[in-house]
Amino acid sequence: MNELMNLIKDNFSAFVELMLFIPSEFQIQSVGVGEAAVLVFILVVALAAIFLSARWMKKHNLGFTASVLLTFLVLSLTLGLTGFLLSIPRLSSSVYDTFPVLCIGSPVFNLVLSVIASLGHRLRNNHPIAGTLILYGVGFLFAWILFSTFIMFALRLYN
């Protein structure tokens, strides 16, 4: 049991450390077209995932718990597919050290973002501007997690 707790603690702290390590590692002085395209693509995918789940919440008139679960599913599926597609070129090398970090670290943040997105959607019914701003904020935070996933798999910062 202690081994499982240590595994969870170590991998979650590695994910948080990686998320906080990125700004200090990448001090971008000039952004090229390729880097800008990747950043814009990640931001568009993150905002699309958030607003897609908000649209499904509205379409199916879900309650709070079902909205949180639906958003969590959409966010986890987006992260999982991103990690899967980025790990394909690395199949010859070992990616087993990267998967536990991502699979233990990201669900906690996905759950928190799902709760905030569901609250933002509910707020959007009475206060459309405030709810939309909250959804955009959640989209930007999810873009940061997607960017961390991209860095973890593509550039292999975590050993």
pLDDT of 83: 78
pLDDT of 93: 61
Domain count, the chain: 1
CA–CA gap between residue 50 and residue 78 (Å, rounded): 10
Q: What is the mean pLDDT of the chain?
A: 82
Residue-range definition of the domain harbouring residue 145: 2-155
* Cβ atoms within 10 Å, residue 159: 6
Average of per-residue pLDDT across 28-33? 64
Q: How far from the centroid of its chain's Cα atoms is residue 67's Cα? A: 17
The predicted model scores a pTM of: 0.84
- Write the pLDDT tens digit of every residue in 57-111: 999 998 899 999 999 999 999 988 887 787 776 666 655 566 777 777 788 889 9
CA–CA gap between residue 89 and residue 9 (Å, rounded): 29
Task: Please state, in angstroms and as integers, the Cα–Cα distance from residue 147 to each residue in 11, 41, 90, following that order.
Answer: 18, 10, 18
